[in-house]
Amino acid sequence: MDGPILITGCSSGIGAAAARDLVARGHTVYATARTPVEIEGARWLALDVNDDQQARAAVAQIEAEHGSIGALVNNAGYGISGAVEAVSLDAFRRVFETNVVGYMRMAQLVLPGMRRAGQGRIVNVGSVAGRTTMPGAGPYSATKFAIRALNDALRFEARGFGIDVVLVEPGPIRTNFTGTANTSFPESEAYASFHEAVAKADAEADSSSLAGDAEDVAKAIRRAVEARRPKALYRVTFVARLLPALRGLMSEHAWDAFLRSQAPAPKP
């Protein structure tokens, strides 16, 4: 893979770890975020993936300096937690705008240059939540299922132009991601105890020995970027491999019973 790498969502966590890792490997990295935080060796651009003008300007600047973008790492996103009934439609629209529309916007902007160059790579950071929906994560999981659908379509559509499209699916990762999501549970008397149980279960999962680190995801992103023939899917952590396998083996009723072992179902 030739050319500079554009990474979204680099203010912390997986994006920052991926930028550091790829810089250390000698790549030209443009690390972007709404509020840039300096990463040694990376070029910084302020970029909110919801701002169409800003996104176009960032891609245009990189292409003016280097020609086509070699790889796009779609990572910008955030989580929301809460029962489906309790999450506001405005909050649901906002998370879809960032997590899904933002990915699609960035892909659409880099693809013309990649097609002209006859090569390129798009790495979409998804989640095991795009294959299995855990208690209290319905709206967030919906965005990750949507990312997987777009990724599968784009992988088929872009291949003939010499462009590889790769999905990276982490399981629980020790970052501030889940903690931040769980600070914004919607107020709901009916679901208050359920939300409390979900927050506790999420905190335990992210601090368990089965959780990975941002650097583990960064290594998978690096493999996806550097491999001559990248795999279509890189799963990160044992949980990211186990949960989809369990879901495929279980009936709906059996899966619901498993979920009740993770958090008690809401009730009066």
Residues 73 and 221: beta-carbon distance below 8 Å: yes
**Residue 140 bears catalytic tag:** yes
Residues 66 and 37: beta-carbon distance below 8 Å: no
- CB atoms near residue 125 (< 10 Å): 29
Residue 63 to residues 4, 113, 134, 191, 225: CA-CA distances in angstroms?
A: 9, 8, 40, 49, 18
Catalytic residue among 30, 78, 103, 140: 140
Instruction: Name the nearest CA neighbour of 261 among 246, 248, 249.
Output: 246
- Amino acid residing at 192: A
- Amino acid residing at 55: A
Residue 115, CB-side half-sphere exposure with 13 Å CA sphere: 9
Strand ranges inside 86-139, DSSP E? 120-125
For CA atoms 186, 175, 214, 121, the dihedral sign is: positive
Spatial separation of the C-alpha atoms in residues 185 and 174, rounded to whole Å: 20
Which class for 55: exposed (0-12), middle (13-18), buried (19 or more C-beta within 10 A)?
buried
Residues forming a β-bridge with 230: none
Residues forming a β-bridge with 168: 125, 234
Q: Which residues are catalytic?
A: 140
